[in-house]
Structure 1
């Protein structure tokens, strides 16, 4: 089974916290805009997705991941249930690159 996604966009929100078990997490809201062709017609694409970076390997870049920064995120999708009981897809980042 494959589950791999690469998505670029602008960070809209960023927050950092530590879980009760001591794992550092950074949570981003990523806004993606692009244009694709479907059935030979241009289609505007838009999505807003939560991106989760976990563990020490992301700590070195966490301070640079602020609102307004362009990034490319590579990782996998997973279903997450919020405190309100609503399910949503989130992108668990395995790699993040700052774009200039």
Structure 2
């Protein structure tokens, strides 16, 4: 699970007709590591696929806080570069 602020959201449909939403999520937190405080930061793409998740994606806008639960996977871009993405299985708006 990862929480953070949506920085960008876009929707598209794959050639096979599957609806996708891609969120850019910014996570910031503070953790203890070896008994010392550590600032944690990451900017990661979150992919929501299928009708079950995309039925509510109209609500996702930049600036909103969300909790995302899912799994990590390696994705290769058109330029051949690999990147880590989070495939969402559940997304909840934080209030």
TM-score for the superposition, normalised by structure 2: 0.97
Over aligned residue pairs, what C-alpha RMSD do you find?
Answer: 0.6
Q: C-alpha offsets along residues 67-91 of structure 1, whole Å, 9 cap, x if unaligned? A: 1010000000000000111000000
Q: Are 1:21 and 2:16 counterparts? A: yes
**Corresponding position of 2:37:** 42
Q: Which aligned runs of 4 or more in structure 1 are off by greater than 3 angstroms?
A: none
Of 57, 62, 65 in structure 2, the residue corresponding to residue 67 of structure 1 is 62
Tell me how many residue pairs correspond in the alignment: 95
Query: Which blocks of at least 5 consecutive residues in structure 1 are unaligned?
Result: 1-5
The counterpart of 2:51, out of the listed 41, 53, 56, is 56
TM-score by length of 1: 0.93
